[in-house]
Structure 1
Amino acid sequence: MTKKRIAVIGGGVSGLVSIKCCLEEGLEPVCFERTDDIGGLWRFQENPEEGRASIYKSVIINTSKEMMCFSDYPIPAHFPNFMHNSQVLEYFRMYAKEFDLVKYIRFKTTVCSVKKQPDFPTSGQWEVVTESEGKKEVTVFDGVMVCTGHHTNAHLPLESFPGIEKFKGQYFHSREMPPGQLLASHCPEIYFYFSFQRINPLFSFPYNEIPAFHSKWIKDESKT
């Protein structure tokens, strides 16, 4: 009996897990990753390409390694409980190597479109158009798993800040934060979400100008 072929779109964490699950169910996965490496969101780049999810250099996970690890592949004991993003990526590489997943991934391949076959009601098949090195290819799959994540587009609600067009300073999303120590010693504080708590000390170090009501619960991770 011919194995059913499954298209997996994206080589990040969900894509890797999807490949493994397909193999366990006797399916034939083909993963398409438009970049040249695995990791997705967790692969930090100084200048990420347009349309690619990104993180800032000092990101540390906000869940413990016990909570975020794969059930069939524990995170090494010597890794810290709350890992730096580089260690998260290292763990995903170890996972991919352990289960031999990379060979199912077609790198530098963009998925252009996905649509149902004309006989979809009876076949359940999908037409997937991909492009690699300027050449397009049409392939029919028995199923499609979309593993592109939901952090591609930065949420920057400028309309929520009346008068922002008159602001003469610099404003940006956390994903665009420049690496290394920031030179500004004064920074308007907007929102108290987790990434803001992580970034705030990077703005104020070494000036120690975090407001007193923050200083007891915002950890300075500027040296990590």
Structure 2
Amino acid sequence: MAPRRVAVIGAGASGLCALKCCLDEGLEPTCFERSKDIGGLWRFEEHPEDGRASIYRSVIINTSKEMMCFSDFPIPEDFPNYMHNSKIMEYFRMYAQHFDLLRHIRFRTSVCRVSKRPDFASSGQWEVVTESEGKQEAAIFDAVLVCSGHHTNAHLPLSSFPGLEKFEGCYLHSRDYKSPQPFFGKRVVVVGIGNSGIDIAVELSHTAKQVFLSTRRGSWVLYRVADNGYPFDFSYLSRFMQLIHNLVPTSILNFFMEWKLNARFDHTLYGLKPKHGVLDQHPTVNDDLPNRIISGRVRVKPNIQEFTETSAIFEDANVRRFPGAVVWATFLSLIWVYLCDTISQCDKGWPGCRRV
């Protein structure tokens, strides 16, 4: 019997793993990658193609190498615990070369449509239409793995901020932010307090005249370096800690973790304390933010109420005049444009897949 054919969409971290696992199981995978190289989100491009995930030049991963490495291919010992995006790309290339994955990848090939075949009920097969060099091609596969990620489509919540159409400064999404140089000497408002928002605010604070970090609800800020200098996740994501997590109510764990984080810096005093518990939402990680706040280089502000031609008015009625730029570090839309309408998608993720 011929091996079952699998289409893998995307050659980022999950796509490479999917390829390798398919080969391990005796399947026949073909990976379609719309760009010229592997790496997906982690490959920095000054001018990325439309529809591709994008990062800024200084991005360092928030997960230590001990916790993020592929189980069958350890990260080299001489690599840093928290890797710059260039080191992550180096690791991915080593992984792809070691398992001979590149020959299964069709670069510069976009997936146009994925649909069930008319006889899907009996065959379980899919039709995948791709395009390369202006030519479309259809192929039949027994399975499709969507590995194109969810950091692709920038969402600018412009309608939520009255007066923005009159604002004379510039604005952009964090997806389009690459480095702090264009903002030298300017007042900048960063909207959003996720990992990208805090990273960008901290980086801009070294070159901008003033940075305002606008947040609707605050955030618990974790740190990479934990007690005794060990990586935070390596210290707190052990089997023992998992046992504690299973035995102790979440409310008590939240209390302990919040006490631990506030011992480093008081989140209420710094204007960051949210209403949710630290374990109730995705964590934000940054080691430098408290230093930038206490030195006045980053000022934490509530949500923006409205814009005028020359100012941003925050919900605390504080007016900041002449912000030179606004960076929207807001969420990205979860959209797979190539999936046929007959394949159900939902706003909060795929049923049973924990928002993946």
Q: What is the TM-score with the length of structure 1 in the denominator?
A: 0.89
For 1:1-224, list aligned pairs within 5 A.
1-179=1-179, 181=181, 182-206=183-207, 213=270, 214-216=289-291
Unaligned runs of at least 5 residues, structure 2: 213-268, 271-288, 294-356
Looking at structure 1, the residues matched to 108 and 207 of structure 2 have their Cα atoms a distance apart, in angstroms, of 42
Q: How has the CA–CA distance of structure 1 residues 114 and 206 changed in structure 2, closer, same or farther, with 3 Å as cutoff?
A: closer
Unaligned runs of at least 5 residues, structure 1: 219-224
8 Å Cα contact 2:120-2:126 kept in structure 1 = yes
Question: What amino acid sits opposite 1:201 in the alignment?
Answer: V
Looking at structure 1, the residues matched to 20 and 69 of structure 2 have their Cα atoms a distance apart, in angstroms, of 15
Question: What amino acid sits opposite 1:2 in the alignment?
Answer: A
Looking at structure 2, the residues matched to 22 and 207 of structure 1 have their Cα atoms a distance apart, in angstroms, of 48
Q: How has the CA–CA distance of structure 1 residues 110 and 172 changed in structure 2, closer, same or farther, with 3 Å as cutoff?
A: same
Question: What amino acid sits opposite 1:85 in the alignment?
Answer: N
More strand as a share of residues: 2
Q: Following TM superposition, by how much is the alpha carbon of 1:179 offset from its aligned partner in structure 2, in angstroms? A: 3.0
Question: What amino acid sits opposite 1:111 in the alignment?
Answer: V
Question: What amino acid sits opposite 1:45 in the alignment?
Answer: E
Over residues 112-135 of structure 1, what are the superposed CA-to-partner deviations in whole Å (9 max), with x where a residue is unaligned? Answer: 111111211111111111111122
2:93 is paired with a residue whose SS is: helix
Q: Displaced runs of 4+ in structure 1, greater than 4 A?
A: 206-215
Looking at structure 1, the residues matched to 190 and 31 of structure 2 have their Cα atoms a distance apart, in angstroms, of 41
Q: What does residue 353 of structure 2 align with? A: none
Looking at structure 1, the residues matched to 80 and 142 of structure 2 have their Cα atoms a distance apart, in angstroms, of 41
Number of positions where the alignment pairs a residue of Structure 1 with one of Structure 2 = 218
Q: Following TM superposition, by how much is the alpha carbon of 1:178 offset from its aligned partner in structure 2, in angstroms? A: 3.9
Q: What does residue 222 of structure 1 align with? A: none
Q: What is the TM-score with the length of structure 2 in the denominator?
A: 0.57
Q: How has the CA–CA distance of structure 1 residues 37 and 185 changed in structure 2, closer, same or farther, with 3 Å as cutoff?
A: same
Please, which moves more after superposition, 206-215 or 80-89?
A: 206-215
Q: Following TM superposition, by how much is the alpha carbon of 1:206 offset from its aligned partner in structure 2, in angstroms? A: 4.5
Looking at structure 1, the residues matched to 156 and 62 of structure 2 have their Cα atoms a distance apart, in angstroms, of 21
Question: What amino acid sits opposite 1:46 in the alignment?
Answer: E
Q: What does residue 309 of structure 2 align with? A: none
Looking at structure 2, the residues matched to 128 and 189 of structure 1 have their Cα atoms a distance apart, in angstroms, of 40
1:19 is paired with a residue whose SS is: helix
Please, which moves more after superposition, 15-24 or 57-66?
A: 57-66
Looking at structure 2, the residues matched to 135 and 207 of structure 1 have their Cα atoms a distance apart, in angstroms, of 47
Looking at structure 2, the residues matched to 5 and 192 of structure 1 have their Cα atoms a distance apart, in angstroms, of 42
Looking at structure 2, the residues matched to 202 and 157 of structure 1 have their Cα atoms a distance apart, in angstroms, of 23
Over residues 57-88 of structure 1, what are the superposed CA-to-partner deviations in whole Å (9 max), with x where a residue is unaligned? Answer: 11111121112111111111111111111111
Identity of aligned residues (%): 61
2:19 is paired with a residue whose SS is: helix
Looking at structure 1, the residues matched to 208 and 153 of structure 2 have their Cα atoms a distance apart, in angstroms, of 33
Looking at structure 1, the residues matched to 6 and 38 of structure 2 have their Cα atoms a distance apart, in angstroms, of 18
Q: Following TM superposition, by how much is the alpha carbon of 1:180 offset from its aligned partner in structure 2, in angstroms? A: 5.1
